[in-house]
Structure formats: C-alpha cells, structure tokens
A = this chain, B = another copy of it.
Amino acid sequence: MSFVLLALVLLLSVFSPARALWPLPRSLQTGSTALTLSPSFNIKLSVLHAPSDLLDAVARTKQYLLNDKLERLVVGRSSADTAAIAGAKTLSALTLQLTPGATARPITTEAQQAPEDRDEAYSLTVPADGSAALITADSTLGLLRGLTTFGQLWYFHSGQLYTLSAPVHVEDSPAYPYRGFMLDTARNFFPVADIKRTLDAMSWVKINTFHWHVVDSQSFPLEVPGFTDVASKGAYSASSVYTPKDVADIVSYAGARGIDVMVEIDTPGHTSVISKAHPEHVACAEATPWSTYANEPPAGQLRFTSDATTNFTANLLAAAAKMFPSKLFSTGGDELNTNCYAADPATQQALNASGQTLEQALNVFTQKTHAAIEAAGKTPVVWEEMVLVHNVTLSNETVVMVWISSDDAAAVAQKGFKIVHAPSDYFYLDCGAGGWVGNFPSGNSWCEPFKTWQKAYSFNPLSGLSADQAKLVLGGQQLLWTEQSGPQNLDSIAWPRAAASAEVFWSGPGGDDDAALPRLHDIAYRFVQRGVQAIALQPEWCALRPGACDI
C-alpha cells in the first residue's frame, strides 16, 4: 500500500461515521458535520398508547447517554475534537414514530414472535442543522433497534456528547431473523444477575435470541412446576436454582430488550442428573468409566424405550414450555451414546419386548415429546444429530442447529430443515483453553484452537448451500459451554467476541475484519463503560490508531 493510500485510509477511518456502529447498518449515509447533544436533549414518543417496555427503552437510552462517557478512540481521545465541537449545532430532540397504521404492541410481544415474523427494521435520521432526529419503524421492536443505533453515535468530551458525522441517515433491517447467543448454565451455575447483564450486552449489538441451555447431565437448575424434585435434587445447591419467578423475570427482562428466550431441555442424552430424583428414567447413571458411556462425565441418558419415561419427558417438556412464551423450544438431541443403552438391561428388555430397534424407539420417543411441545404451540429445535445421525422423523418446521462442523449445514439443508448456524469450528467460545479432564494434563480442548473474533467474523452462512437451500438459514449464534467457565469469566470470554456473529447475521457476511476492528474496539470500550467486562483486543496504542498495528 502506498503511503498516500495509507494516509487516505487512516483519514477515512478517523472520520468514518461508521466507526462507532455495531452491527453496521445495512444502509448508512453520514456527513462530517459536528453536532452536540443539548443538555436538555429529550426523546419524544410520537406513539399512541406506547407500551411500557418502549417507555423503558427510551429511559434506558437516556441513561446510557448520560452514563457512557465514552471518549473517541483516537490519539488524545475526545480532546482531539475540541475544535471540531466548538460552535457545533445542537440536537435537542429525537422523535420516535411508528409508520402510519402500525400498532404499538409491546416490544416483548414483537420479540417473542417466530423469528420470521419479527420486524426489526427501522430508519434513523439525524439532521446536521440541529433539527429533531427521527426514528421510524413498523414496530416497537424496530424503534428499539433504532434507539440502540442512536445510542452508539455519541462520544463524550468535557461534559458534552457529540458526533462528528452529521447528518446521519440509516435504513436498516437484519439480514437474518435469528441472531443468538447460547449460555450453558448447567456445567457451572450463573446467578440471574449475570444472565441479565448478558442480555443487556446482547441487546447492545442487536442479538435477538437467548438460547438458554439451562440443564445438562451435571446439574438441573430449572425448577419446573410439577417436577420440582428434579431441581431440588439435581441443582448444585438450593441457591443454584432458577425458580419460575426467576424465569419470568429473565424472560421479561429479555423481552423488553427485544430478545426471545429459547430454552433447551436436552433429551434424551445429557440427562444424568434426572436420576437423582427419578432413577427409574435414567440408563447408566454415573456409570464408570464415564468415557465408555458419555462424551463427558457423568454418564446417564433417558430410557426412551420406556413408555413411563417417554410420558415423564413429554410432561416435563410441556411443563417447561409453559414457562417460556417463545415460539421455539429446543429438545436437544445431541451426543446420544449407544453403549449406554446396550449395557442397560431395562432398555434391552424393552426393545426385546417391542421388537423395535433402538433407532425406531428413538423415533417414537421424539414424536411423542415433540408432540407435547407442539401442543403447547412451540416449534421444536434440535441439534444436528437428530437428522444427520438418527434420521428421526421430524416436522418440516423443525429448526436444526448445526454444531459439529460448519460443513454439516449442507446436509441438513439437503433434508429441507431450517438451519441455525452454531458451528464449533467458528462459534464455540470455550475452545482453546486446554483439556479439563482431571488426569489428562496434555489434553487439548476437543475444538482447538481458540476461536478468535476474526474467525467468527469470517463465517459465511451460505457456504455450500444452493439458492433454495439458502432460504432455510434462519441465522446463527456464538455459544458458551461452561466446563471451564463461570460467572468469573462470563464477560471476558464472551465479549466482544460474540459481537462478531451479531454483525454477520445482521449486516450480512463478508465484512472486512480490518475495517471492522476499529468499530469493534469502540463497542468493546462502550461495553466496559456500561459495566460489561469486554476485553482488550489490542494494546490501547493500537486501538487509538486504526491500521497502525496492521502488518
């Protein structure tokens, strides 16, 4: 690159209006006029019968404007802009309005629709002359997304908020309707406050689905009405339980932030802990050596050949489904271990009696348990093995999560199922920390190496898919499995990395990661100002000098 071109790139990046926005709006026009926010700046809701969660979103936006105090990431920070700000025009108001004819339903209601039915589009205009800014949308959810973008425009200097990029015009809507983040609260427990903080962080980058892998073989922290013994005997402790009140609190907190909570009760594998309350339903519970019977300790899987176990599971799922308004409900279905069933007399006896194969019995179990959640108005979500390994008969509506490898998406699409991309080779946040099995010091994590934000950012949702198959892609998500994580490193392991997929699935793939880095620094520094401990991606010296740490 010539020095002239380099200088131009540096100049552009310094003045780039998009410097602060994440995910990048799909259409963005900006100027280079400085504009400050009036001390009496106000957000006006031009919405009849505005729902309370929209009012809350407005109040939250004002709070962020007051508290962020983020200086611009340039040498000298915002003091470099003193001259530019002096005498700038002042913005006194932002108006929110719905397009004529649109109904002001709660953000929560909009967010909890099926992914394809969510309307997150908005437009945002910030004139350069100080006249009122405007966000318009077809839905309150769209207004919320616009508020989020608006909140990223402003830097702090000496008591003032300012942008150097007026006028701003944004026309925005997501490339994909499902943009998720998965948290495993079973390997290690996370208090409600950690989940709420994570939901806040998600909302700041327009992630709209919290995939809550709430239970697993190690612990069952979800108190399900009618099945309270499973948690009371299966949680790590009485205080490591999500009560129905906690769940309602989390669902409501998420909804107000435009986030749907999709719970997963993983079945029939990953269920060892159910044996604590119901040993009759679990084969090879805590059998040793665990590595013969499970991918990780402890072993234990539901006896899906048993009618009693099938009914128990269907009822448990139905009861759990009632706790979550989402249209999606994940029944799991990963990593089924056949040794466990081969060694389980009860399972073998049942198979002999029925004359079924194990796969036939699994099919029956899945039909019945899926019927239970479908009766509750939910669409089932499963891990990829259910279609690629077990070939279970599933409704066409079923959503399949591709996790083992990004290469598996094509095979799932070939079978006509909707896809959520959750591939370990791009999106697993836990990879690369070494092995955690006790006596295997040289063990690597199975999904080595560490998945950098750049790796996640390079993901192409349509790779290997035909044009028709591409329509099956709902979106994707990064995931945190917590064998080596807990509240102690939740923020630092997730952020800002998990923002990478948020942009891939909002703005569309193909972003240049070198151009993205200054914006990602910006959002990470803003996260820290808001109390989420996003980590440094580079020395501050580099963060202040876009491009200077390129090689």
Residues of A within 8 A of B (CB): 77, 186-189, 217-219, 236-237, 289-291, 296-298, 432-442, 444, 448-452, 454-455, 457-458, 482-489, 491-493, 513-514, 517, 528, 533-542, 544, 546-551
In whole Å, how far is A196's beta carbon from the nearest beta carbon of chain B? 18
In whole Å, how far is A330's beta carbon from the nearest beta carbon of chain B? 20
Residue of A77, A189, A536 ringed by the most chain B CB atoms within 10 A: A536
Beyond A449-B448, A535-B484, A536-B484, is A549–B437 a contact (Cβ under 8 Å)?
yes
Chain B residues within an 8 Å CB radius of A219: 539-541
Chain B residues within an 8 Å CB radius of A539: 186-188, 218-219, 482-483
Chain B residues within an 8 Å CB radius of A435: 452, 454
Question: Within the assembled complex, what's the spacing in Å between the Cα atoms of A539 and B551?
Answer: 40
Chain B residues within an 8 Å CB radius of A513: 439, 441
State whether A542 touches B297 (Cβ < 8 A): yes
Chain B residues within an 8 Å CB radius of A489: 489, 492, 533, 535
CB closest residue in chain B, given A457 = B441
State whether B484 touches A537 (Cβ < 8 A): yes
Question: Within the assembled complex, what's the spacing in Å between the Cα atoms of A130 and B434?
Answer: 44
In whole Å, how far is A483's beta carbon from the nearest beta carbon of chain B? 5
New A-B pairs, 15, CB < 8 Å, besides A219-B541, A438-B542, A483-B538: A188-B539, A217-B541, A289-B551, A291-B551, A432-B449, A434-B451, A436-B538, A438-B538, A441-B457, A482-B536, A482-B539, A483-B539, A485-B536, A487-B533, A488-B534
State whether B188 touches A540 (Cβ < 8 A): yes
Give which listed residue, B77, B491, B536, B550, contacts A188 with CB less than 8 A: B536
In whole Å, how far is A283's beta carbon from the nearest beta carbon of chain B? 18
Give which listed residue, B77, B433, B449, B534, contacts A237 with CB less than 8 A: B77
Chain B residues within an 8 Å CB radius of A486: 535-536
Question: Within the assembled complex, what's the spacing in Å between the Cα atoms of A514 and B435?
Answer: 13
Question: Within the assembled complex, what's the spacing in Å between the Cα atoms of A435 and B451?
Answer: 11
State whether A485 touches B551 (Cβ < 8 A): no
Question: Within the assembled complex, what's the spacing in Å between the Cα atoms of A110 and B449?
Answer: 44
State whether B448 touches A434 (Cβ < 8 A): no
Q: Which 7 A-B pairs have the closest CB atoms?
A: A434-B452, A441-B454, A489-B492, A218-B541, A439-B514, A187-B539, A488-B533
State whether B438 touches A550 (Cβ < 8 A): yes
CB closest residue in chain B, given A481 = B539
Beyond A188-B539, A297-B542, is A433–B450 a contact (Cβ under 8 Å)?
yes
In whole Å, how far is A194's beta carbon from the nearest beta carbon of chain B? 12
Question: Within the assembled complex, what's the spacing in Å between the Cα atoms of A289 and B6?
Answer: 11
Question: Within the assembled complex, what's the spacing in Å between the Cα atoms of A433 and B298?
Answer: 29
Question: Within the assembled complex, what's the spacing in Å between the Cα atoms of A439 and B512?
Answer: 9
Question: Within the assembled complex, what's the spacing in Å between the Cα atoms of A517 and B542?
Answer: 38
State whether A540 touches B218 (Cβ < 8 A): yes
A-B contact pairs, 18 of them (CB 8 A): A217-B541, A219-B541, A290-B549, A298-B548, A432-B433, A434-B451, A437-B551, A438-B514, A441-B455, A441-B457, A442-B455, A482-B536, A484-B535, A486-B535, A488-B533, A488-B534, A492-B492, A492-B493
State whether A488 touches B488 (Cβ < 8 A): no
State whether A535 touches B297 (Cβ < 8 A): no
Chain B residues within an 8 Å CB radius of A455: 434, 441-442
Chain B residues within an 8 Å CB radius of A485: 535-536
State whether A449 touches B444 (Cβ < 8 A): yes
Question: Within the assembled complex, what's the spacing in Å between the Cα atoms of A544 and B432?
Answer: 24
Question: Within the assembled complex, what's the spacing in Å between the Cα atoms of A46 and B286?
Answer: 52
Chain B residues within an 8 Å CB radius of A528: 488
Chain B residues within an 8 Å CB radius of A535: 484-486, 488-489
In whole Å, how far is A430's beta carbon from the nearest beta carbon of chain B? 11
Chain B residues within an 8 Å CB radius of A458: 441
In whole Å, how far is A245's beta carbon from the nearest beta carbon of chain B? 23
Question: Within the assembled complex, what's the spacing in Å between the Cα atoms of A452 and B448?
Answer: 13
Chain B residues within an 8 Å CB radius of A442: 454-455
Question: Within the assembled complex, what's the spacing in Å between the Cα atoms of A537 and B187?
Answer: 11
Question: Within the assembled complex, what's the spacing in Å between the Cα atoms of A290 and B237?
Answer: 54
Chain B residues within an 8 Å CB radius of A236: 540-541, 544
State whether A488 touches B536 (Cβ < 8 A): yes
Chain B residues within an 8 Å CB radius of A297: 541-542, 548-549
Give which listed residue, B296, B488, B541, B549, contacts A492 with CB less than 8 A: B488
State whether B187 touches A550 (Cβ < 8 A): no
Give which listed residue, B484, B493, B544, B548, contacts A538 with CB less than 8 A: B484
State whether A440 touches B492 (Cβ < 8 A): no
